[in-house]
Structure 1
Amino acid sequence: MPKTVDFSNKPFHFIGIGGIGMSALAYILAKRQFRVSGSDTRTTHITQSLQAVGAHIFKQQCAANLEFFQSRNAPACEDVAAKRVSTSLNPKALTEISQSSPTISVADPCLGLPQVICSTAINPLNSEYQAAKKLGCPIFHRSDLLAALIEDYYSIAVAGTHGKTTTSSLIGYLLWQAGCDPTMIIGGEVDAIGGNARLGNGPLLVAEADESDGSLVKLSAEIGVVTNIELDHPDHYQKLEEVVEIFQTFAKRCKNLVGCIDCETVRTQLKPNISYSLRR
């Protein structure tokens, strides 16, 4: 399995694109003019919104889906390249390049098999997943893509057993109203942005960070936020100490940690350098 997500020359294909976490990532990529496709067994308002921004949605999971961008139905390479000159570089790089170098070089976006994105919900025996392995497609967990996007921006990652969606929505909305124009990846639908994701023009990203499967340890943000820590997701964790260890790793990987000290576990086990409280 490859170690890094390629933001220069490969399309993205999501197995289970209609999931709340997967769809937010697919939306951001499609809005950044990457070639996006995905499969889901149900048509919903979420898959329809993805289609509206250019994603190609398959209604069944089969090997043929992975051939889409090698077919005559795929968008022309020169059209994709023309759209993606500014979006193929990360927001950090665009800020730095605008100050230092007038030349931007973009790799050919038409080479290679699609990068396949899966979530923990996808069974390894899934026929589409097996086809991707057989074809030699780069395969990434949803959290790998989120981690790459977090690296791509000046990011705020919001974690915690409870309150992640509310807190990440509030932070993103406040930054938006303050004129920072952030990108937002939320684990729920937010009326103010009309969905679960928003592509901004600024260098900031606010992302909800999920600990349910342990993949939180992959994320490295400029600012990490932890709302609280409790024993949850018994399918993955057997005791609180295991959950704490995941959050401690996340905390170490963030440049700054903001924590709610109303939670004793956050206060004593993470010791955030910036704290907040609703009680003190």
Structure 2
Amino acid sequence: MAPGIPTALDRPHFIGIGGAGMSGIAKILAQRGAKVAGSDAKESGTAEALRELGATVHIGHAAGNLADDATAVVVSSAIRADNPELVRAAELGIPVVHRSDALASLMDGLRAIAVAGTHGKTTTTSMLAVALTDMGLDPSYAIGGDLAGPGTNALHGEGDIFVAEADESDRSFQKYDPQVAIVLNVELDHHANYASMDEIYESFETFARKIVPGGTLVVNADQGGAVELAQRLRGEELLNIVTYGDSAQADVRVHKITPRGLSSEVTVLLNGKFLTFTVSVPGAHYAHNAVAALAAGVALGLPAHNLASALGTYTGVKRRLQLKGEEQGVQVIDSYAHHPTEMTADLEAMRGAAADARLLVVFQPHLFSRTQELGQEMGEALALADASVVLDIYPAREDPVEGVTSALIIDAAKAAGAQVTAVSDMSAVPDVIAGMSRPGDLVLTMGAGDVTDLGPRILARLASPADK
């Protein structure tokens, strides 16, 4: 039987309860029997799903949303100090708990697998959650995206395993004490919180040192930052390090990846034996994520053959190369990619899966700070598409930065030989894509902001009897 509710979270109030990370914790607490409440900026399917679990969800932020008997107010790093509910919590003397502390408390007493890295966390965590469920282990999990099958980002299971996505963006992953941790990659990102690669490495080292004594760190043997991290940790006592990847020195070596349309067949060399299994999403990037999941499960003591077979049941995460539909011979696919490495991986995956198709991208940059630092690389990534539409920057939690606009990306893309169109008005995008596309094309809506809302609108426009 899994643990119950931490006393401090018996009646929690979540500010921003609809967020990917916050909603997952709220769902698990509600499933464990907590009296959950919270607020979010707008109505959503997530808010309704929480209500169905018994949670009270207010739309809009107001001091009156916070009940006097709340035992804690849960916040993420995105919540500003002047939020009226946070101000009210201080007046009432209600403790404020960061979401990472809340998640850490939910993992107490369970065998935890924490998945970290600059990108690929959601996919890898999801693969583990689906595979362990298929094996009948009934895990708990908290993920940054909704699974395509169960349609949820979190679940309270009765088993003794908890799989969690570990977010490095605000150093919150340093709160966890996993038995097994995965580091997929280590790259400079989240520039508002990290000034250099040295700070990034220090943060990941702190995370790795929180692994329980005798636990295992699973590291990508092919990515420079992850390799550097492993080298820095080699002298740590009571920490087992397992590497995976194409490298001949990898402990779990990728022997071969064979594309099979929108899936892949993967063969690995593990403990001196070859093991072949299917990954039901396209691209080498996702195949490697599956191998990382395999290595982590084996480190936890699970049988490799059973786990490999179960990994084949994973069918994707919403917003991770998710097919939204097809109209007039044009497929529309949604991608959460917003870092240049992610963008490149998804574009290459689609190229491999549909080599004869034209690839059209609608890209929305995410954050001024990220665009300022990585705009050049974003533009170069877009050169992998046949044509791109670039929207204005989605600010999320940030204020504008003078001189930082989508033009940084557009100029870099054009310099790399890409065909790019700048569109500031999102409502104009469906008409623009309808005019550009033809039967057989693939259209990717790409980014971490509200660009995802364009998929259905583009499909509706393509289906319109009006002339393109």
| Equivalent-residue separation in structure 2 for 1:56 and 1:154 (angstroms) | 30
- The answer on whether the counterparts of 2:6 and 2:106 sit within 8 Å (CA) in structure 1 is no
Candidates 184, 198, 202, aligned match of 1:241 = 198
Q: Which residue of 2 aligns with 1:83?
A: none
Q: Which residue of 1 aligns with 2:118?
A: 161
1:235 partner SS: coil
Rg (Cα) greater in structure: 2
Q: Which residue of 2 aligns with 1:57?
A: 57
Does residue 75 of structure 2 align to residue 118 of structure 1? yes
| Equivalent-residue separation in structure 2 for 1:239 and 1:33 (angstroms) | 43
1:191 partner SS: coil
TM-superposition CA deviations, 1:55-83 (whole Å, max 9, x none): 00111222222227x5xxxxxxxxxxxxx
Candidates 212, 215, 220, aligned match of 1:260 = 220
Does residue 166 of structure 2 align to residue 209 of structure 1? yes
Q: Which residue of 2 aligns with 1:37?
A: 37
TM-superposition CA deviations, 1:166-206 (whole Å, max 9, x none): 11011111111111110110011111221111221101100
Q: Which residue of 1 aligns with 2:186?
A: 229
Instruction: Among all aligned residue pairs of Structure 1 and Structure 2, give the percentage whose two residues are the same amino acid.
Output: 41
Shift of 1:279: 4.6
TM-superposition CA deviations, 1:102-158 (whole Å, max 9, x none): xxxxxxxxxxx4211001111001111000011000111111111212224211000
| Equivalent-residue separation in structure 2 for 1:197 and 1:278 (angstroms) | 32
Give unmatched runs, 5+ long, in structure 2.
232-239, 249-468
- The CA RMSD measured in Å over matched residues stands at 1.5
| Equivalent-residue separation in structure 2 for 1:247 and 1:270 (angstroms) | 10
| Equivalent-residue separation in structure 2 for 1:115 and 1:54 (angstroms) | 18
1:259 partner SS: strand
Give unmatched runs, 5+ long, in structure 1.
1-5, 71-112
Shift of 1:265: 2.2
2:143 partner SS: strand
Superposition TM-score, scaled by structure 1 size: 0.79
Does residue 91 of structure 2 align to residue 134 of structure 1? yes
Q: Which residue of 2 aligns with 1:276?
A: 244
Shift of 1:7: 1.0
- The answer on whether the counterparts of 1:185 and 1:198 sit within 8 Å (CA) in structure 2 is yes
- The answer on whether the counterparts of 1:151 and 1:221 sit within 8 Å (CA) in structure 2 is no
| Equivalent-residue separation in structure 1 for 2:99 and 2:58 (angstroms) | 19
| Equivalent-residue separation in structure 2 for 1:266 and 1:169 (angstroms) | 21
Candidates 148, 156, 160, aligned match of 2:105 = 148
Superposition TM-score, scaled by structure 2 size: 0.48
Moved over 3 A (4+): none
Shift of 1:222: 1.0
Q: Which has the higher contact order (CA 8 A, sep 6+)?
A: 1
- The answer on whether the counterparts of 2:230 and 2:241 sit within 8 Å (CA) in structure 1 is no
